[in-house]
Each structure stands twice: as C-alpha cells, then as structure tokens.
Structure 1
Amino acid sequence: MDWEKVKRIFIYLLIWLNIGLFAANHFNGHDYKITNERESAIYKVLEKNGVGLYTEIIKEAPPMRELAISVNALEIDDFREIFFKGENPKITLEFDKTILASNTKSLIVQDNSITYLNPNGNGKIENFGKETAMAAAEDFLELLNIDGRSSLKLESAIPDNGAYVFEYMESFRGYKIFSSLKKITVSENGVTMASASYYTAQEFTGEKREIYSCDEILLTFLEEIRKSSPHDSVYIEKIELGYDFKNAKDIDDGSRLRLVPCYRIFVAGSPDAYTINAYTNELKEE
C-alpha cells in the first residue's frame, strides 16, 4: 500500500470536511485544535486498519519552541560515597565509562548517566507488594537525586517477573522531559537495578514553530506499525506530548543541548514507546 498517498488523501478529506469551520475557528483563535470531525475520522481510519485507540487523543497542537537543557557533570567520588559507603570498590576505566564494583554490586557511570546493579538486592522487604516496593523505590530515588533539584514524578509501575519496575520522569513548565528518566527495579530482596540520566532544563529557546497535530502523528504511527506488524491487532493505550532528543546523535550546542517537541505512543503489551518528532512527523532514530 502506498502510505504517502493514503496520508495525502486523508488530509485532503479532512481539509474539505472542515473548510466550513475554518473561518470560525480562526476568528476564535482555535486554529491548532482538532475538530470533532477530524477526531472521528482518525478513529475510523485506525479501526479499519486493525488499530484500537483506548485513550484520548491530544486535541491541541499550538506552535512550540525547543527546550535548552544542560548536561550535569557527574562526580565519581559522590557516587562512591552514596552507593559504596564503608566499602572499597574496585574502579575500572574503560573507553567511555567508569565502573565501580564490590563483591555484591556495581555502578557504571557513562557520560551523564548511571546504571546500578545489585542482583541480591539492597535489603529484604517485609510484606512485599506494590506498596512496599514503591516505598523502597522512593527511598532509593532520594539517593539518585544527587543535586536535590529534580522535580521527579512517578510515571509508571510495571510488574516484572515477581518484581516491580518504577519509572520517574522530570517535567518543565508542564511538559515531560522524556530523556530525563530514572528507573528502579525492586524485588522482595530490595532494589536490584536502577538507571538514571542527569540533565537540567534551562529555558525554552528559539522561535515558536508549528507542530504536527495528533491525528497526523497517528497516521505516521499507523504506517510504521503496519511495516513491523502487518497483520497483528494493535491497541494504543497512551499518547503524550513532551520533549526529547531529535535522535541519538544530537549536536551539542556549546554547554547545552536542545530538545524538540515529540509525541510518544504506547501500545498494549510493550513498555517501549514510539517517539515521533512533532516538528517533522518522523519516527525518532535510536
């Protein structure tokens, strides 16, 4: 199927469908809102192609600026004091990372991110369950929040082979920063693994640019999902708009990096999201 042709036809239909409402929407300052007709149309297109939409779409897509963030410098001594207090871990320097390791646990520091591994856990949890596991994760989160400035909120709590994986994300002025994530795995033996990246949001920068609307983004998602799973039923559980890197090889702008608006789409049965650049309507390169 020629997906580009399908997308063009769909957009043309939406334009004609809404042409009578354009003037009124423009007068009321609602140019960047998805109309009920467009919302209904995208539901129908997805349904006909085996994709169920079990969440609200994002109905507004106003122009957005880029977000400037700084990379936090990580001090090895700080982490040694936090995670290996009273121990004398072996320190190994590799090409782009530093590894601290004791007999029971290890910590990998790479660029501005860390990975903590403790297979036996950091302490058995009485009456283990979601609530007690979350309490242990919150305590450990305080250790990860080394500068004390992060505004982290719980993003998800996922059962995983008898353990729970808790994900925490930062936000800036109401927008989530998808690239600033902290993840903690807790079993009945305590925290067994954690990872964290360290950035500081600075300010919105550059001119406001128009972004693609959610229905247009969903057409790109539909094209991608049908390439990888042409015959499977797919169920969209969550859609969100925030900030992320353009791709894995973004250019450093002096001491700062720039994030762009992105949509994330989550489907049932997978913890990973489809991340689509809101400026270009292209799937993010990993």
Structure 2
Amino acid sequence: MDWAKVKTILIVIFLILNVFLFITNLYTDYDLGFQSDYARYAIKYLESRKIRIDTKIPDRTNQLGTLVYIDKDLDFTYLTRFVFGHEILASTTGDSVFIAEGIQAIKLSDDELTLVDKITYDGSGATDPDSFLKEAYIYLEGLGYRKKDLLLQSQIDDENGKTIIFNLKYKDYVLFDKTIVLTLDTGGMISATIPAIEGKSISSTTKDILSPYQILVMSEIPGGSVINSVYLGYKHIHEGELYAIPVWRVTLADGTIFFFNAYTGEEL
C-alpha cells in the first residue's frame, strides 16, 4: 500500500473520530444542561414547600449495579494478638467463635464480630471533645479500617461512657446497614461491634438511578424541613440477602432519616 492511500485512510479515520467526539460532547452537554435545569426547578419546588437544603447535593451517578456481600476473612491469630497480646486458641461451636481471657473477649456470632478490650485511654481529663474519636480511628486502623473507609454517624457521651457509631464504606458508597459501634466505659473497657461480612464487588449489570433532586421532589419529606445531608450508598432490602441495592439517604436537621430506593424512588 502506497503512502497516499495510507494518508487518505488516516484522514478518514481522523474525521470519523472527530464526528464521534462532537456527537458525544453534544449529548453530554445536553444531559448536563438538563440536569442543571432540573436542579433549579427542583430547588424552586422545595422552596415553595419551605424545605431548605443545607448541604452540598452530590453529583448524579447515572447507573449502578447491586453490591454483592461475602463473609469477611477473619484472622483470629491476629485478632487474639491484637486484643490479648498473644495467641489463644479459639473455642468454636458451629459458625460461632468465643475466646476469652479475664475481662477481655472475642466473639463471633450471627455475622457480627464483637471485641471486648482494655485500652489505656479512659477519657478522664480530656479537654478535646474529639479525643475519643481520634482514639477510635487509631484503634480501628489496627483492625484494618482506614479513616476513608468510615463515615461518622453519631457520637454519644453520657454518665456511662462514650459511644461512637460509624457507617462502613465500599469505595465511595456508604453501607447504610453495615455499622461499627465502639463503646468506651468509664473504666477504660472498649467494646467494638463489627460486621463479619463485607462488600466484594458491584454487579456489572447496571440500571439507571434517580438523581438526588428527583428523589427530593418525589419524596414526602415534611414541609418546613431542613436537609442536612444527602448520601448515595447501599442497603439490604430483605434481611439475609447477600446483595444490597443503591439507596439515597436523606438526613434532616432534627435527626430524621429517610431512605429511598435509588432505582424507583420508593421510600424504604
């Protein structure tokens, strides 16, 4: 093949590619413009119902698949060293595991891992209100959880001690029914309750999901509400299922939480 023919073919390919990119950008710009217009109309509609948005609304994700869960691979050799300082053989009954030494313990049952541990931090004399939160991040890092894997849900401080609840995350998505609960009593005993299952992968079979503005317009959120946060994540619909569907969570200023099926907009 001579150079003239090669050059002609390359020019044709270049022109086809440019046409393809032009059409793609045209549709992308149209979609972004539509989303922007819909967002403006949605905000006006919510304002007409005296509903105020006091948070950044996440960017739209067009399609998502379901999230598949698997049993977490637990290393009890490491866990016993982490809690007791040395290895201890586990006592097992079926799927349950129980290991104890003094007041410290490790228990696995019903897809839940519980650690009862003694730590040097007891919160006494702490002037930083987030001191236990910082300690919690350090403790969980020792169990393989990075700060970016966690979303702080709540902190409770009363006469019995301190409690922190985190939602786990899979990549950028919050797992709304997978929580880690850390409780510290006044004697320095910490109890950690951790899910024994974890996200494995998001199904390659995807479906369109509704935008957060579509969810807010379709919802029955009471008039006069203030929206404090909007998150996209995953949640089980039926107990015991090994997969979860995409869900929008809307939290109001008064603490009320709404969950909406991201595929249909149905309130869960």
TM-score, normalised to structure 1, is 0.64
Alpha-carbon distance change, 245 to 138 in structure 1, aligned in 2, over 3 angstroms:
same
- The CA deviation string for residues 49-103 of structure 1, in whole angstroms up to 9 with x for no partner, is xx6543344463522222334322335454333323359799574x864343444
Residues 1-286 of structure 1: pairs in structure 2 closer than 5 A:
28-30=30-32, 31-32=34-35, 34-45=38-49, 47=50, 53-58=53-58, 60-85=60-85, 91=91, 93=93, 97-117=96-116, 122-123=119-120, 124-125=122-123, 127-128=125-126, 129-145=128-144, 152-156=149-153, 158-161=155-158, 163-167=162-166, 169-172=168-171, 174-186=172-184, 189-190=187-188, 192-218=190-216, 221-222=219-220, 234-250=225-241, 252=242, 258-270=243-255, 273-284=257-268
Q: Is the 8 A contact 1:180 1:198 kept in 2?
A: no
Q: Is the 8 A contact 2:62 2:210 kept in 1?
A: no
Unaligned runs of 5+ in 1: 1-23, 227-231, 253-257
- The CA deviation string for residues 192-225 of structure 1, in whole angstroms up to 9 with x for no partner, is 22121244544432333122232443356526xx
Alpha-carbon distance change, 135 to 150 in structure 1, aligned in 2, over 3 angstroms:
closer
1:11 matched to which residue of 2?
none
Unaligned runs of 5+ in 2: 1-25
1:240 is displaced (CA, Å) by: 0.7
Q: What amino acid maps onto 1:142 in structure 2?
A: E
- The CA deviation string for residues 145-170 of structure 1, in whole angstroms up to 9 with x for no partner, is 2xx78952453452421525152533
1:273 is displaced (CA, Å) by: 3.8
Aligned residues: 237
Q: Is the 8 A contact 2:165 2:181 kept in 1?
A: yes
Q: Is the 8 A contact 2:53 2:228 kept in 1?
A: yes
2:253, 2:107 → 1: CA distance? 31
2:257, 2:79 → 1: CA distance? 30
Residue 60 of structure 2 aligns to a residue whose secondary structure is coil
1:111, 1:75 → 2: CA distance? 17
Q: What amino acid maps onto 2:157 in structure 1?
A: D
1:79, 1:99 → 2: CA distance? 12
Q: What amino acid maps onto 2:183 in structure 1?
A: T
Percent of matched pairs sharing the same residue: 17
Q: Is the 8 A contact 2:175 2:234 kept in 1?
A: yes
